[in-house]
Structure 1
Amino acid sequence: MLTTTFAILGAALGASAHYTLPRVGSGSDWQQVRKADNWQNNGFVGDVTSESIRCFQASPAAASASYSVAAGSSVTYYANPSIYHPGPMQFYLAKVPDGESVDSWNGDGSVWFKIKQDQPNFGAQLSWPSDGKSSFDVPIPACIAPGSYLLRAEHIGLHVAQSQGGAQFYISCAQLEVTGGGSTEPSEKVSFPGAYSATDPGILININYPVPTSYQNPGPAVFSC
């Protein structure tokens, strides 16, 4: 009964509590971030096998500019409005292949490596570092090669994730130009779709009752230099 009550409340509140991830750095909304399909309705992706799970776009729909950042420094990614639902923030990078342009490349294939993820604080209920926040510092690994990249931001709303397909994915992709750096090639790369299954323990999970004492983030381990 308690679980059902949480689910109903979560669904009702969720209808007016969605958000987008539209901006990096000092740019304006959707300037250096590719315009996601939820730019007007704040919707989410619910199917991890959909092409939308990559950058939440119907087409590459390039941003009007790329954001320049030095390897070893950080990018600030912004939510609008603040993150409302409980769940982890995760960030991935994918390097644009030689001969391709960031303006047209769609990020297909096993090219994505994870650079940051949240873990919850455990107690009477789970609390997440992203709760109520509207900006996130994303460290760019110091050892990766310079060049054009897509930076994929993802927040997973887990408030009604106790049923398959209930997890809500809020996603966008920024265009970066990484300067400096080194030549390290991340060994563990994944594709979107493909990286997640609807039954992964970090996606199909009841965070309300009984309250979990551990959490396994979906996707690969975080890359480090």
Structure 2
Amino acid sequence: MVAVALVATVTQQAFAHTQLYNVAIGTTVYDKYEYIQPVVGPRLSPVADFTQKEIRCRNTDGSSLPNSPYLSVKAGTTFSVNWHHYNASLQDNMVSPSHRGPCMIYLGKVTPSPDDIQWFKIYELGFNKETNLWCSDVARNNHGKVDVVIPKDLEDGNYLLRTELLALHKAAAPMGAQFYPNCVQITITGSNNKFLTPPPAYVKFPGEYQPNGKGILYDIRTDKGLTYVIPGPVVYPPVQNPS
């Protein structure tokens, strides 16, 4: 009985978590994990310490992988990311309803050293007071899919597109917030080869998220999203994200 209970607990914990399963451009849906950087350890587990390098891409490096392909994406294109557990079936929910919180998507132009990557945010969705839904709820209701527009005013080149789901159910305690980042290797083409003025707000990972930071140390059960502020910088201005 103890063994059965332990297996059930582990299974429930696994299905509570999530991963970036695949990506899509329009009607072209790419294969499982295609262009997505591998993670270290269990694919569904959150980053254990979000002040360390694993916060970049859920791996210990977070750099580009020279022997792995990049997906060519035209600037201005609507790009879809899909979170799931183990497969893309309708029965495979992206995350447990208890793991509520915001979604963020960043871009960082590839540099020789991953420590030098400057990240800027191109998408965020937190809590909607009118619908009482978090981004995690919206994405789960959309079978794990979130759409983002790749900005037109960038420089062409190789980028890491960093997706992130933040679960707040344990965030009332320091280091209780659960981050689920993944990185996609893309090559942006057809842009205006410039950033608008003012330039995007750059951040570094690790460094941007701190245990007592805004939107990270947060009691979701007491506040219920009413005063929640999404962590990280402001979204880069030229993006008009789909609703």
TM range (shorter): 0.7 to 0.9
By relative contact order (CA 8 Å, sep 6+), the higher-ranking structure is: 1
- The separation in 1 between residues aligned to 2:194 and 2:207, in whole angstroms, is 24
Partner of 2:77: 73
The answer as to 2:202 corresponding to 1:189 is yes
Q: Give secondary structure in 2 for the equivalent of 1:175.
A: strand
- The separation in 2 between residues aligned to 1:83 and 1:91, in whole angstroms, is 17
Q: Measured at CA, do residues 184 and 21 of structure 1 come closer, stay the same or move farther in structure 2, by a change above 3 Å?
A: same
- The separation in 2 between residues aligned to 1:44 and 1:67, in whole angstroms, is 25
Partner of 2:95: 83
Partner of 1:148: 158
Partner of 1:19: 18
The answer as to 2:30 corresponding to 1:30 is no
Unpaired stretches in structure 1, ≥5 consecutive residues:
1-11
- Whether the 8 Å contact between 1:34 and 1:173 is mirrored in structure 2 is yes
The answer as to 2:142 corresponding to 1:135 is no
* Per-residue Cα deviation, 1:116-154 (whole angstroms, up to 9, x for no partner): 00121226x952133124111121111111111000001
Unpaired stretches in structure 2, ≥5 consecutive residues:
1-10, 86-93, 239-243
Normalising by structure 2, we get a TM-score of 0.77
Partner of 1:8: none
> Cα RMSD over matched residues?
2.3
The answer as to 2:96 corresponding to 1:92 is no
- The separation in 2 between residues aligned to 1:43 and 1:161, in whole angstroms, is 16
The answer as to 2:115 corresponding to 1:113 is no
- Whether the 8 Å contact between 2:110 and 2:117 is mirrored in structure 1 is no
Partner of 2:50: 48
**How many angstroms does 1:183 deviate by?**
2.7
Give runs of ≥4 in structure 1 deviating > 6 Å.
none
Counterpart among 178, 202, 205 of residue 218 in structure 2: 205
The answer as to 2:215 corresponding to 1:216 is no
Q: Measured at CA, do residues 210 and 95 of structure 1 come closer, stay the same or move farther in structure 2, by a change above 3 Å?
A: closer
Q: Measured at CA, do residues 94 and 200 of structure 1 come closer, stay the same or move farther in structure 2, by a change above 3 Å?
A: same
How many pairs are equivalent?
Answer: 206
AA aligned to 1:24 is: V
- Whether the 8 Å contact between 1:31 and 1:64 is mirrored in structure 2 is no
Q: Measured at CA, do residues 24 and 15 of structure 1 come closer, stay the same or move farther in structure 2, by a change above 3 Å?
A: closer
**How many angstroms does 1:48 deviate by?**
2.1
**How many angstroms does 1:47 deviate by?**
1.9
* Per-residue Cα deviation, 1:142-196 (whole angstroms, up to 9, x for no partner): 1111111000001000011110111100011000011111133334101000111
Normalising by structure 1, we get a TM-score of 0.83
